[in-house]
Amino acid sequence: MRFLKDKAIKLTAAIAAAVVAHPGVVSACSACYGEPDSAAARGLSWAITALAGVVVMVLAGVVSFFVHAARKSELVQAADPETSSIEKS
């Protein structure tokens, strides 16, 4: 296991050194450098917006699940507190 960790560190260092040695290879996209009104920049903006929308929808689903579970738990406890598996402190 230690061997794989050392190998991964060496590989990461080698990639970082290659990027630093040849900065022309790594260039910005058209949204950051170039034509901001190009079709590629507009497409990238829409892609970022769509991905942010997906993240927001997933997080909203997770939050709504926990809110639903908490409300359901309160209803079960209120209906019959003696048989509830959760005791109040």
List, for residues 56-72, the tens digit of each pLDDT value: 999 999 999 999 999 99
- How many structural domains does the chain have? 1
Q: Is residue 23 part of a domain?
A: yes
Q: Is residue 11 part of a domain?
A: yes
Q: What separation, in Å, do the N-terminal and C-terminal C-alpha atoms of the chain show?
A: 46
pLDDT band at 87 (very low <50, low <70, confident <90, very high): low
Domain range for 37 is: 2-79
Q: What is the pTM of this model?
A: 0.52
